[in-house]
Every structure is written in structure tokens, then in C-alpha cells.
Amino acid sequence: MIWKAAITLLAAGALAPAAVVSAQDAPEPLHERTALTDLPLEGARAAMQLEHVTLSISVNPQSRQIAGDASYRVLAEDTLDELVFDLDPRFAVRGVSVAGEQLDDGRWTSAEGLLTIHLAEPLLSGAPIDVRITYDGAPHVARNAPWEGGFVWSETPEGKPWIATAVQGEGCDLIWPCIDHSSKQIGTLDLIVSVPKGLVAAGNGRLIGTRDDGDRTVFHWQARDPSNYGIALQIAPYEVARRDYDSRFGNAIPMMFFYLPGKEEGANRLLGEMSDQIAFMEDRFGPYPFADEKVGVAETPLLGMEHQTILAYGNGYPREAYGHDQLLQHELAHEWFANQLRHATINHMWMPEGITTWTQPLYLEHVRGTMFYDAEMWRLRQRVWSRVPLVPPEGDLPDYNDREAKWGDDIYFKGAWIMHTLRYLVGEQALFPALTRLTYGNSNPVPGETKPISRTTHDFRLILEDITAQDLRWFFDAYFYQADLPRLAVKRDGRTLTMDWITPSPFPFAMPVEVRIDGRNRTLMMEGGHGELTLPAADTHFLIDPGNRILKHDAAIEAWQNRDSRD
């Protein structure tokens, strides 16, 4: 997801095309359960695996309604007496069948955000079963997509329907019956979308074909391993810019940009930018994960979202001083960190968001030099709040939009700064191989042989410790599981300079500290969180952390952040 608080900070002028967005009806509040994603898995939801989904959706722009027909191949991971799907209760369930048998209404219930199907006999562990659900209704209208998600019913400048979905914060149950949890993977997806003739439905994966259906057109897309929230509807009178990207791994990757009429020049320019960005990402981290399908982008009336192989782009094709479109680069990087590397639960959402945000200054360093990297890191540092732990305890659901806690900022900016500090601590020779192993599950990923992998912060620590042969519990506890940033207490007594790290962590914070003395840098190893050195003279000027590589408490930034709350 694109970060909300930094639109003006990092992408000045990069506004969603509000002039073409029609007024939205005031959306009704979501049901309490439906408004949340990653609620604890229990019962049947914990023991169901969706091996295959065929999701057919007919979209009616005039009435702002959809009709869905969803077929599933469900694999039981434990003995089941019932099947349970998450589904927004504003949808009416019209029919349910199991193993080809149409069920009477008494065999299933749809209430309180859950569709429960009672089985005639237990489904044994390891056994598959076929399920079909038909439903329809007016889906939830997004209040402020993509941060407060749902459907966006808009119009192009010519008055044609322009529709998009974004449901990362609320979950897939805003669109279709699903298991709304990050850990639940889908094997394969057939997405079949029916739209009024003249419109195009851009979808996940590969386009299998289109067909006429009276005054409508049906688009059939097929995808492997899609994430729940990455399945999206993006509909407009699109035209398509195409080219192939020749990967350094020897394979050709199809690229498709679905743009509104009149935007061909911008779409082709961004395809060129994306080619350079793919080359950078493949060099640093590994092969593009979905090369067998496509690199896809669709112009949308919402700002952006990392929908798998069909990224939402609503930045308006600006010319930026960076030399490339920052928003599109962010969303493209999510194909590696969000769609390939997935957080096991929302509590570890910093991983895809923070690492992706860090790729932005990294890419700037690659194309523009060190000054651009440092300048971007300074911009990001101003948005680190650290009021709550970056990784909340399992079972506690963090609120992305909590304006006081600002966890929704920290998963981007604090996450990026932790990566920046790790680069200083362990070095690139350890960090980049660790990220490759974290992302693909091995150190030598091969195109066509990669599958998405779900990870936790603990997984990341174990991989780094294996590569570096260091115990990094002190680092991970201080930065991920404690709210307060480490503080460096510095004391000068004549020629003696002492430093002590102060954190609420039970582990001594052993972060080495560089000190610049008379133009030369010296590193204190800070064993046990303490360090001491002798200055050449009592009045010698010194500078702590001259490269600004360590994420630590900064009184000046804190005062600046709190400037509006002063009396």
C-alpha cells in the first residue's frame, strides 16, 4: 500500500485525479468483523485451504452492484463438520452447493460477516471438496481508498465508468467469500469478470481470453498463488501499452500498462522506467516472481496499491525531480515485498511495507548517487514516531489508521530505517543475501520455480543470525518489540568521552557507534551497551554517528514532530 502520511512529503504534486472522480455516496459503516482483517483463525477457518478458486463477477456500474459466482476446491487440513467463509453481510447469498448438491437454506447461514456451511458428514483431514456460492449486492464503497478500502465507482473525463477495488486494510470479504487472513494462500485463481461492452477488466495473472455476451464482454484471467487482498477489479475503457522485458536471468517478461484514452505517452514512458527498476530489483534481490504471468499496471481513480501482477496506479504521470515516478516504483517493488514475500499476520506488516519503502532511497542511490539516498533517508526519518511496538504481540490487531499510535506510519518509515541501520551493522554482503533467502526461501531463486512465502520478523532474525553468525536478539527486541527508540547518553569529562545505550529491552543494546574526531572516524564497539574513549584534548570537537546510520531517539525531531501540540 502507498503510505498515506507521506504523499505531500515524498511525492509533492502526486495527487489522485480528483477532478475525474465522481462524488461518492456516503458509505454505510462496515460490520465490526468485516472492517477487520487477520482476525484469529479458529475452527473451520483455520483448517481450510483453498486449492483453487473460480471467481466469476458481473459488474453493473449503473446500479453499483455486483453478482458473484464463486467455485472452490477446498482441502481439509483437519476433520471438518462445517465450512466457514468470511463475507461482508451486505451481500445476499443466493445459493450454496457442496459436492454438486444444492443445499437447502437450513444447511447454511450467513450472518455477522460469516458464511457457515454445515456438512452432511464430516470431511476428513486431507480430503478435498467442491463448493459453490452465489451472491449479489451493493458492495461497500471506499471512504478513502486505498487507506480505507472498498469499491471506487468513478468516471473518466469522458463520463465512462472507471471502477477499482482496494481492500488491503479490510480484507477480501469486501468482494468475495474468502478466508480473510494473511496466512491463507490460494493455489490457483480463475477470475472471470463481466462488464458492459466498451469496458475492459484488467485482472491478475495471464489473460486466457475474452468473449462477447450480448451487450457485455467477459474477461478471463488466470493467476497462481494470488494473495487475498491482491485480487482486484480494475475496470475502464482501457487501452493497453505492451512490451517485453529481457531479464538478466535469461527469460522474457511481458509488460502491460492499461491506461485511459489519451495517456499513451505517459504509459509508455512509465514502462521504460519500470524496465530499469526491474533490472535493479533483480540485481539486488532476485528474479521478478511472476515472470510466467506479467508485469501489469492499471490506471485507477485511487492513488496506488500492489495488486499482484496488476498494480493500481493513480499518480497522474507527473514529471518528478527524482527522474522517475516514485509511486510506481514503490508499487512495483511490492511484487517482491508483499506479493512474493508476505507477512504471516498483519502484525508483521512492516516487512513488506518497510523493505519496499527502503528500496526507494536504494534505487535513488543506484541511479542518482549517495546524496539522493541520504536525502531520502532524512525525509523518511521525520516520519518515524515509535509510539507503539512495530511488531505488536500476536493476537493484538494493530490499527493502520490510528492517528495517535501512528503504527500505520511506522511500518513504512521505521521499517525502512531499521533496514538502513542493518545495512550499517551487518553490511551489504550479509543483508542482501539474507533478504533474498527471506523472500524466496533459498539463496539461488530461479525464474519459474518461485512461490510466495509467508514470513515473520522472527524468521528474518534467524536468517540474519545464520548468515552473520551473530546473536541479534538485542537488535530485534529493541527495534521491533519495544516502542521507545534506543537513546544514546553521551558524557564528556575532560578528555574522557563515555557513551551508554538506554533502551527498555532486557538485552544490552550493542550497537557500534562511529565518532568523528578531527576529521577521522573511529568506531566504538559498545560491548554491553557501553563505550569509552579518550579525546586528543579537552576541547576537541567530536561528532556522534556522522553518517547518520543508526535509528535512535532524536530530540530535535521529536520537538519538531510535537510542534503543533505545544502551548
Task: Give the pLDDT confidence of 145-162 residue by residue, as tens digits.
Answer: 999 999 999 999 999 999
Residue 334, annotated as binding a ligand: yes
pLDDT band, residue 18 (cuts 50/70/90): very low
Over residues 45-70, the mean pLDDT reads 98
Give the contacts of 69 (CB within 8 A, at least 6 positions apart): 55, 56, 57, 132, 133, 134
pTM metric for this prediction: 0.95
Q: Is the pLDDT of residue 302 over 90?
A: yes
Q: Is the pLDDT of residue 565 over 70?
A: no
Q: Is the pLDDT of residue 329 over 60?
A: yes
Task: Give the pLDDT confidence of 493-511 residue by residue, as tens digits.
Answer: 999 999 999 999 999 999 9
Q: Is the pLDDT of residue 19 over 60?
A: no
Q: Is the pLDDT of residue 364 over 80?
A: yes
Task: Give the pLDDT confidence of 516-544 residue by residue, as tens digits.
Answer: 999 999 999 999 999 999 999 999 999 99
Which DSSP category does 477 fall into? I
pLDDT at 16: 32
Q: Is the pLDDT of residue 20 over 90?
A: no
What sign results for the dihedral spanned by CA atoms 385, 386, 387, 390? positive
Q: For residue 144, what are the β-bridge partners?
A: 148
pLDDT band, residue 2 (cuts 50/70/90): low
Over residues 399-426, the mean pLDDT reads 97
CA distances from 242 to 154, 190, 206, 356 (A): 25, 22, 14, 25
Phi, psi at 369, each rounded to 5°: 110, 175
* Residue-averaged pLDDT of the chain: 94
Which DSSP category does 393 fall into? P
Over residues 171-195, the mean pLDDT reads 97
Cα separation, 563 vs 383, in Å, equals 14
Residue 353, annotated as binding a ligand: yes
pLDDT band, residue 28 (cuts 50/70/90): confident
pLDDT at 237: 98
Set out the domains of the chain in order of their start, with CATH numbers: 487-565 (2.60.40.1910)
More confident: 304 or 8:
304
Over residues 118-128, the mean pLDDT reads 97
Contact indicator for 83, 119 with CB cutoff of 8 Å:
yes
pLDDT at 1: 82
